[in-house]
Amino acid sequence: MVLARRRLARVVVRTGTSVVIVAFVGLVSCSHGLLEREISGQVFVVRNDGQSVKLGLVEVQIFDAKDLANQLRSASLTNDQAEAEKLKKRVEQFEPELNRVVDRLSELAHAVPLESGDVSLPHLKSSGQGLIIVDFPRLKMDVSQYADYLRSAAYLFTKIAIKPLALAKTDADGKFTVRVPRGRNLAAVAAAQRYVGDSEELYFWAVNVPGNTIALSNDNEASSPRGESLVHCPSFHQRMMSDLKEKPELEARLADLIQQASNLLTQAEPGHVTIGSIKLLRPVSIQVGSGTSILPAGTELNYSVIQNGYLRVHYANTTYWVPQDQTDFSSHH
């Protein structure tokens, strides 16, 4: 050791500062290796048929285990989940009302003193974003998926705001290597997706790193019932994450459907304009109380339903059926 020091000193005297710099860099490089720890691992999933699928281009982040645990505890999702459940309940409460509206519209369309036949209810052809009867099941499904999302690791992982100590991406074999500071308890976090046909499978991991190697697989994935994962959340199945609807849009759609239902029922009830107006070409007799009344030619009436050559018209808060050929309907259509 003494001899080595003397040789180094003689070199310094002969060559000057440049050798001192080289010696310094070598010392730092050596020290750097002593202060770092190399972690290697692989990310893969095992299919139902037992075949292993290696996941490439997955970003693996390494955190201080205590910092990550604190972050996960502080990521309170209770309020968001409660709001989603409230929205889900509002949708469920609206369903009986919507069914009542649809049933009433059907009654109004079919309660006619004519032989059976097809009934045209233009109210149901188009309403805002589309058919109200079609829109509601879609909304119900989207709200349910949104509530499921808020209970899943997919949402929880968006709440991790601390910076990792290091990160790396897996290669084509799902393998990765990363160097991190020594002297800390570590945890690994990763998220991956795999396309199967036209659907998307999502995987999330948050696990401790007890040694220098780690495998991220089905066994320690966040939805696994086993205990290795730091978080345990239900699986989130979504055809495409890009199809996920957020709360403001869902609330707006519910409000729109409620308004549409109210408008449709109001317009379909007797005495309200629903489609358009026609004029009588000749006098028409109508039943009024226990007697009759004559509506003279030229009388303008609002109509809402067309059936078997008759129009359902609205007059004095009552509905009547008049022959289509006694009106100017054909000249407008």
Q: Is 3.20.20 the CATH classification of the domain at 273-333?
A: no
Residue 24 has pLDDT above 50, yes or no: no
Model confidence band, residue 312 (pLDDT cutoffs 50, 70, 90): confident
**More confident: 101 or 169:** 169
State the pTM of this model. Answer: 0.59
Angstrom distance (rounded) from CA 326 to CA 333: 15
pLDDT mean over 63-67:
95
Best-predicted range by mean pLDDT among 158-167, 313-322, 324-333?
A: 158-167
Q: Provide the pLDDT for residue 31.
A: 46
Angstrom distance (rounded) from CA 139 to CA 250: 7
Angstrom distance (rounded) from CA 302 to CA 104: 20
Residue 239 has pLDDT above 50, yes or no: yes
Tokens 């026609």, residue located: 278
Residue 299 has pLDDT above 60, yes or no: yes
Residue 219 has pLDDT above 80, yes or no: yes
Angstrom distance (rounded) from CA 151 to CA 234: 7
* Least confident among 81-95, 113-127, 242-256: 113-127
Roughly what angle, to the nearest 10 degrees, separates helices 78-110 and 247-268? 20
Task: Give the distance from CA 139 to its chain's centroid.
Answer: 11
pLDDT mean over 215-231:
89
pLDDT mean over 226-239:
78
Q: Provide the pLDDT for residue 185.
A: 95
Residue 180 has pLDDT above 50, yes or no: yes
User: What are the distances in angstroms from CA 125 to CA 62, 119, 270, 331?
Assistant: 55, 12, 20, 23
**More confident: 288 or 8:** 288
Model confidence band, residue 285 (pLDDT cutoffs 50, 70, 90): confident
CB 210 within 8 Å of CB 185: no
- Beta strand 213-216 with 36-46: parallel, antiparallel or unpaired? parallel
pLDDT digits (tens, 9 = 90+) for 139-165: 888 999 898 888 888 888 988 999 999
Model confidence band, residue 52 (pLDDT cutoffs 50, 70, 90): very high
* Least confident among 100-104, 186-190, 221-225, 285-289: 100-104
* Domain segments of the chain as ranges: 37-269, 273-333
Longest distance between any two alpha carbons in the chain, whole Å: 131
Q: Provide the pLDDT for residue 275.
A: 59
Percent of the chain with pLDDT over 90: 31
Q: Provide the pLDDT for residue 211.
A: 92
3-state SS string for the chain? CHHHHHHHHHHHHHHCHHHHHHHHHHHHHHHHHHHEEEEEEEEEEECCCCCEEECCCCEEEEEEHHHHHHHHHHCCCHHHHHHHHHHHHHHHHHHHHHHHHHHHHHHHHHCCCCCCCCCECHHHCCCCCCCHHHHHHHHHHHHHHHHHHHCCHHHHHHHCCCCCCEEEECCCCCEEEEEEECCCCEEEEEEEEEEECCEEEEEEEEEEECCCEEEECHHHCCCCCCCCECCCCCCCCECCHHHCCCHHHHHHHHHHHHHHHHHHHHHHCCCCCCCEEEEECCCEEEEECCEEEEECCCCEEEEEEEECCEEEEEECCEEEEEEHHHECHHHHC
Q: Provide the pLDDT for residue 106.
A: 66
pLDDT digits (tens, 9 = 90+) for 75-117: 777 888 888 999 999 899 888 877 777 777 666 655 444 333 3
For 49-54, which contacts have Cβ atoms below 8 Å and span 24 or more sequence positions? 53/194, 54/170, 54/172, 54/173, 54/174
